[in-house]
Amino acid sequence: MPELGDPRGPSVPADSSPQDLARYLAASTGLSLSTAIRVIADVASYFDETVEEFVRRRHAEFRQRQRKNEEIWPLIAAELRQRRFAAPGLSERQLRRIIYG
């Protein structure tokens, strides 16, 4: 079975999805290890979306459904309150300030 980072199959950087998570997901759901790795990669990709990317994507999806902007903005605002987004990249200095600041 492909391992995380294996060029023959689905891959996720080892740092973002530990092997033990993939094994746990496979064991707890009955999925194959390669499918579990792909699911983890899909979920990680979903949560890597920035606020700006999310707003643009959702606006386009609503417009395709013939929704008007005055309907769209409150819907997107409500969705934003319920969604998690990837943390911004932090410098070493910013990380130190979180710990020691």
And the tokens for 90? 């932090």
pTM above 0.85, yes or no: no
The sign of the CA dihedral 74, 66, 85, 89 is negative
Range of the domain at 75: 51-87
In a domain, 100, yes or no: no
Number of folded domains that form the chain? 2
CA distance 39 to 88: 23
**Which pLDDT score is estimated for 99?**
86
Q: With respect to residue 96, please indicate whether it lies within any of the assigned structural domains.
A: no
The CA distances from residue 58 to 50, 78, 80, 95, in Å, are 12, 12, 10, 32
Q: Would residue 23 count as lying in a domain?
A: yes
Pair 61, 25 in one domain: no
72 domain residue, yes or no:
yes
Residue pLDDT tens, the chain, 101 long: 444 444 444 444 445 457 899 999 999 999 999 999 999 999 888 888 889 999 999 999 999 999 999 999 999 999 998 888 877 777 889 888 988 88
CA atoms within 13 A on the CB side of 44: 17
Q: What is the pLDDT of residue 8?
A: 40
- Both 37 and 79 in one domain: the answer is no
Co-location of 69 and 39 in the same domain: no
Domain membership of residue 12 (yes or no) is yes
Q: What is the pLDDT of residue 9?
A: 44
| Nearest CA among 53, 51, 52, 35 for reference residue 43 | 35
Predicted pLDDT of residue 17: 53
